[in-house]
Amino acid sequence: MSFVNPLHLQWQFARKLYSEWIGENPQLEEVLKGVDTPTLVIRKSKLLKKFEEVKTHFEGFNVYYAVKANDDPSVIESFAKAGAGFEVASSSELQKVFKFGVSPDRVISSNPVKPLEFIDFCLSGGVDRFAVDSFTEIDKIARFKKRARVYVRLAVPNVGSDWPLSRKFGVDTDTAVEILQYANHKGLIPYGITFHVGSQCNNLQNWFVAIKRAKEVWEKALQRGIKLQMLNIGGGIPARYTRQSLSVKEIATYVRGLLNKYFGIKTLELQMEPGRGLVAEAGVMVTSVIGKARRFKGEKWIYIDSGVFHGLAEALGGIRYSFYLPQREGEELEFFTVGGISCDSMDVVAEKVALPKGVEVGDRILILTAGAYTTVYASSFNGFPPPRVVTVL
């Protein structure tokens, strides 16, 4: 049996992601060398290519980009021009979407708990579709508009998702039916069902359980005289960070098979809300090495001018990025721990990262698959500013 060197395996995957990002445009190498650090560089062509891939394989679905994944104006504008819909959770996000001429019928809000002023702002702008998972939320929406459309969020398994979302939101099937019935009683329109299998989901079983539960709610609601119109399968499409993930085609084929089995309704309105899956691989975070040291038991550390408080917060929750230094390709590799720029001891970006042994202060390290949940999480903690954003074709 051949031995697989984990250092080389990690480095080779990072090289693969880098090569695919550069593609047929070697001039992008100069862009990465020339920007100030830290900077998130986004390729619009990759955004649009992924959007078309999702539209092709999820034919018949209305695709609503989850703005929370990356709210940079260039990203929103790119998807707006491509005809995407948008999922928003705040007045600020909705304002950014409206700025690019997006009509209200292309916008939904799937945050189950919304500030009153946001509900009012949405309805004033013509956006009237809201996710709910409590009776209280029904009461809040009914204050403003009796015929607003609501869709109930189910609690479903998030097993195998790198960023689980099942505890904070969602209800069981019986409670979901009760909420829909209550919405009807309050003069709202029981519109449909939604769920979320967890961000960065690589477990097809989650979609199986979710769609099966959705069908149960659909049938129970119908028995009570409530005819629903829409099924929203949320997000969950994974990106490639340090390994291959389920492809859009694999997930779409599986989901469409389940829908044919459990629903089979041609008039069913289908929705989805990809965020990470659309933008993650389009972004590269360009950072610089600002320090190098040996710590406990000879552990080797490098420090970069970004960190968990400045764009890489998902590292705290288990997301692991690929790191690459094209200028040091071919050098001997070692494992390093990567620390962030702040003086907080929590600011550790990753451990056991394969990097060239000779990495030094001033070297540029590229963090791949950094287009999602980076700049939106970034703060100015310790006085260090968030990463800049540069968009290229």
CA–CA dist 231, 272 (Å, integer): 9
Least confident of 68-77, 167-176, 208-217, 379-388: 167-176
Please state the pTM of the whole predicted model: 0.94
163 has pLDDT over 70: no
- Kindly state the DSSP code that residue 301 receives in the 8-state scheme: E
What is the structure's pLDDT at 4? 75
Bridge pairing between strands 269-272 and 388-392:
unpaired
Strand-pairing partners, residue 270, are 61, 231
Average pLDDT over residues 269-281: 97
Q: Write out the H or E segment, with its range, that includes residue 324.
A: strand 323-324
What separation in angstroms does the CA of 85 have from each of 82, 88, 151? 9, 10, 17
Q: Write the DSSP assignment of 46-65 as a string of letters.
A: HHHHHHHHHHHHTTTEEEEE
- Residue 168 binned pLDDT confidence (cut-offs 50, 70, 90): confident
Tokens of 107: 């916008």
**206 has pLDDT over 70:** yes
Residue 218 in this model has a pLDDT that exceeds 70: yes
Whether pLDDT at 129 is above 90: yes
Burial class, 301, CB count within 10 angstroms (exposed 0-12 / middle 13-18 / buried 19+): middle
pLDDT digit string (tens) for 322-344? 999 999 999 999 999 999 999 99
In this predicted structure, what is the pLDDT of residue 162? Answer: 59
DSSP 6-21: HHHHHHHHHHHHHHHH
Mean pLDDT of 117-135: 97
Compute the average pLDDT of residues 20-41. 96
User: HSE-up of 23 (CA within 13 Å, CB side)?
Assistant: 12
Confidence band of 27 (pLDDT split at 50, 70, 90): very high
3 state SS of 372: coil
Binned at pLDDT 50, 70 and 90, residue 10 comes out as very high
Calculate mean pLDDT across residues 352-358: 97
Residues 6+ apart with CB under 8 A from 108: 64, 85, 86, 87, 88, 127, 129, 130, 131, 232, 271, 273
User: Could you tell me which of 141, 231, 151, 254 has the C-alpha nearest to residue 187?
Assistant: 141
Read off the pLDDT of residues 110-124 as tens digits, 9 standing for 90 and up. Answer: 999 999 999 999 999
Q: Range with the lowest mean pLDDT among 13-27, 202-216, 264-278, 347-361?
A: 264-278
Dihedral sign, Cα of residue 371, residue 373, residue 379, residue 384: negative
Task: Tell me what percent of the residues of the chain surpass a pLDDT of 90.
Answer: 91
* pLDDT computed for residue 3 by the predictor: 65
Average pLDDT of the residues in 36-52: 98
For 135, the token pair is 């009776």
pLDDT category, 165, cuts 50, 70, 90? low
Mean pLDDT of all residues belonging to the chain: 95
Judged against a pLDDT cut of 60, whether residue 177 lies above it is answered with yes
pLDDT, position 161 = 57
Cβ density class 29-38: b for 16+ within 10 Å, e for less: eebbeebebb
Element (H, E) at 249: helix 248-262
Report, in angstroms and rounded to the nearest whole number, the Rg of the chain calculated over CA atoms. 22
pLDDT band at residue 159, thresholds of 50, 70 and 90? Answer: low
The 10s digit of each residue's pLDDT in 80-102 is 999 999 999 999 999 999 999 99
Q: What is the rounded average pLDDT of the residues 246-253?
A: 97
In whole angstroms, give the CA distance from residue 377 to residue 114: 20
Kindly tell me if the per-residue pLDDT of 299 is higher than 60: yes
Paired tokens of 182: 């209550």
Please choose, from the candidates 196, 190, 226, the residue with its C-alpha nearest in 3D space to the C-alpha of residue 211: 196
Q: Which two tokens stand for residue 155?
A: 């609690």
pLDDT at 35 over 80: yes
Cis peptide bond prior to 38, omega within 30° of 0: yes
Apex CA 109: angle with CA 84 and CA 378, to 5°? 85
**160: confidence class by pLDDT, cuts 50, 70, 90:** low
Q: Is the pLDDT reported for residue 311 higher than 90? A: yes
**Which residues are 190's β-sheet partners?**
150
DSSP letters, 280-300, are GGGEEEEEEEEEEEE-GGG-E
SS3 assignment, position 336? strand
